[in-house]
Amino acid sequence: MSFENLGLVPELLRAVREQGYEQPTPIQRKAIPVVLSGRDLLAGAQTGTGKTAGFTLPLLQRLAAGSRSGGRPAIRALILTPTRELAAQVHESVRLYGGHLPLRSTVVFGGVGIHPQIAKLRRGVDILVATPGRLLDHVGQKTVDLSRVEVLVLDEADRMLDMGFIHDIRKVMALLPERRQNLLFSATFSAEIRALADRLLDEPTLVEVARSNAAADQVDQLVHPVDRERKRELLSFLIGSNDWRQVLVFTRTKHGADRLAKQLARDGLTTAAIHGNKSQGARTRALADFKAGAVRVLVATDIAARGLDIDQLPHVVNFELPNVPEDYVHRIGRTGRAGNDGTAISLVCVDERRLLRDIERLLGREIPREVIPGYEPDPAIRPEPIRKAGQNQGRRGGNGRGRGQRTGTGQHARPGGNTRQGGRRARPAS
């Protein structure tokens, strides 16, 4: 099947060709017709499967078909993402695919000045890509009007719940029209996601292109058992001896990312760190340098597990296993994208055996082990407790929120019905 068979208009087909794509991915083949039909959609797809184009292309076509002539554009489509990096990536897709259509778009997220965003919003946009906290900042300043939104997209919805955005999502939905199309995309289908979908979506079409919570088939996974104090030494050895030129390394904590980046730099490896405490400018520069090859190793926390779109990234290393098994899937999904091969290495010490068992239980299989000669674990070392990283607290009762993110009860609007608050009926959203 080609993109022509999906019913896309010539302007979109031209944009797709300009980006070098000829055949739609499985998620695109299944999702695009559903979105074009106007039905609600619940889509499960691993990262790197092309799901952004799966909702961007049909969304652009629907809005262009109903474009209003004259006057300032109104926000007709709202795309919510959990992180700044993902918001920027999605907006870039909207901009590229919509380059031949008379539609305006912009992106708003925290960590940068709000006034340039306000100026763009005042000029009028058809499509707004946003992170929840910054969007509500604009709502508070009355610089956005969401009353004419026709399509709502929740991208990486499971990550938004992990990060504690559920109250913000409810607040946003209380500001939207009751009659709208809703698209929910998620790499994993937890009980929380299914509960959100039940409240948000109206008789949705379910689309899945891989077993729920599965890792991409193109990713070769391998565990290297090693003592906790020798992980950095082993990582430097692997990078140097194998001549890896581009490596994304995950740690649990921001402090751990900074410390490891400094240690690797002392080993002679050009390294940068990216996490929530870094300014948006620093994060953007680090990512750009990594993509350009000026930085060989990028050390990241899980905030980067979504939204890093790097063509043909060959190697991902879990320097520390995540506390939440699903985050392992998101991390290794940064490699093996769009049909390319990739390798995911996990350096596992005695402290992390339980975390590894949880990941393998989620995957439904055991990950192969390989002990590197000279780095054999010492059986006399006893396990130590693992401190839970702050960014994973949302699922376990903490709010998982950073500076400038909001909390509150909020209302929740269901398409075609009444809003809900705390399980009770409330006044319909306006």
Within 10 A of 175 (CB to CB), how many other CB atoms are there? 20
pLDDT band at 326; cut points 50, 70, 90? confident
pLDDT computed for residue 1 by the predictor: 77
Please give the mean pLDDT across all residues of the chain.
Answer: 84
The answer to whether residue 21 scores a pLDDT higher than 70 is yes
**What integer is the mean pLDDT of 309-335?**
85
Q: Which has the higher per-residue pLDDT, 304 or 266? A: 266
Q: For the residues 52-74, what does the mean pLDDT come to?
A: 85
The C-alpha torsion from 46 through 47 and 53 to 58, rounded to 10°, is: 40
pLDDT at residue 180 above 60? yes
pLDDT band at 397 (very low <50, low <70, confident <90, very high): very low
pLDDT at residue 353 is higher than 50: yes
Q: What is the rounded distance in angstroms from the CA atom of residue 138 to the CA atom of residue 119?
A: 12
Task: Quote the pLDDT of residue 213.
Answer: 52
Q: What is the DSSP string of 308-345?
A: ---TT--EEEESS--SSHHHHHHHHTTSSGGG--EEEE
Ranges 46-55, 268-277, 383-392, 407-416: which has the least confidence? 407-416
Q: What is the Cα–Cα distance from 290 to 298, expressed in whole angstroms? A: 7
More confident residue, 291 or 183: 183
Domain boundaries, the chain: 3-213+403-425, 219-390
Contact 261, 332 (CB under 8 A): no
Q: What angle do CA 392, 168, 79 make, to 5 degrees?
A: 95
Domains 3-213+403-425 and 219-390 share a fold: yes
Q: Which CATH superfamily is domain 3-213+403-425 in?
A: P-loop containing nucleotide triphosphate hydrolases (3.40.50.300)
Average pLDDT, integer, range 86-114: 94
Residue 69's pLDDT is what?
A: 55
Please write down the long-range contacts of 251-255, taking CB distance under 8 Å and 24 or more positions apart.
251/299, 251/300, 251/301, 251/319, 251/320, 252/301, 252/302, 252/320, 252/322, 252/323, 252/386, 252/387, 252/389, 253/301, 253/387, 253/389, 253/390, 254/301
Angle at 219 between CA 216 and CA 221, to 5 degrees: 115
Residue 124 has pLDDT above 90, yes or no: yes
Q: What was the pLDDT predicted at 85?
A: 84
What CATH number belongs to 219-390?
A: 3.40.50.300
How far CA 81 is from CA of 155, 159, 265, 352, in Å, comes to 5, 9, 32, 30
400: pLDDT strictly greater than 90: no
Q: What is the mean pLDDT of residues 359-386?
A: 93
Q: How many CB atoms lie within 10 A of CB 159?
A: 26
* Residue 145 three-state SS: coil
DSSP string for 53-115: HHHHHHHHHHHHHTPPPSS-----EEEE-SSHHHHHHHHHHHHHHTTTSS--EEEE-SSS-SH
pLDDT at site 205: 94
Q: Please report which confidence band the pLDDT of residue 67 belongs to, taking 50, 70 and 90 as the band edges.
A: low
Question: What would the pLDDT profile of 211-242 be if each residue is shown by its tens digit?
Answer: 545 555 678 999 999 999 999 999 999 999 99
Distance CA 92, CA 239 (A): 32
- Least trusted range by pLDDT, from 31-45, 300-314, 353-367: 300-314
* 392 confidence band (pLDDT: 50, 70, 90): very low
**pLDDT at position 204, please?**
93
Percent of the chain having pLDDT more than 90? 58
How far apart, in Å, do the first and last CA atoms of the chain sit?
Answer: 42
Please state the rounded mean pLDDT for residues 199-216.
76
Tens-place pLDDT, residues 249-300: 999 999 999 999 999 999 999 999 998 788 878 888 888 899 889 999 999 9
Asked if the model's pLDDT at residue 389 lies above 80, the reply is no
Sheet strands side by side (includes 247-250): 219-225, 342-348, 315-318, 247-250, 297-300, 271-274
Mean pLDDT of 114-124: 95
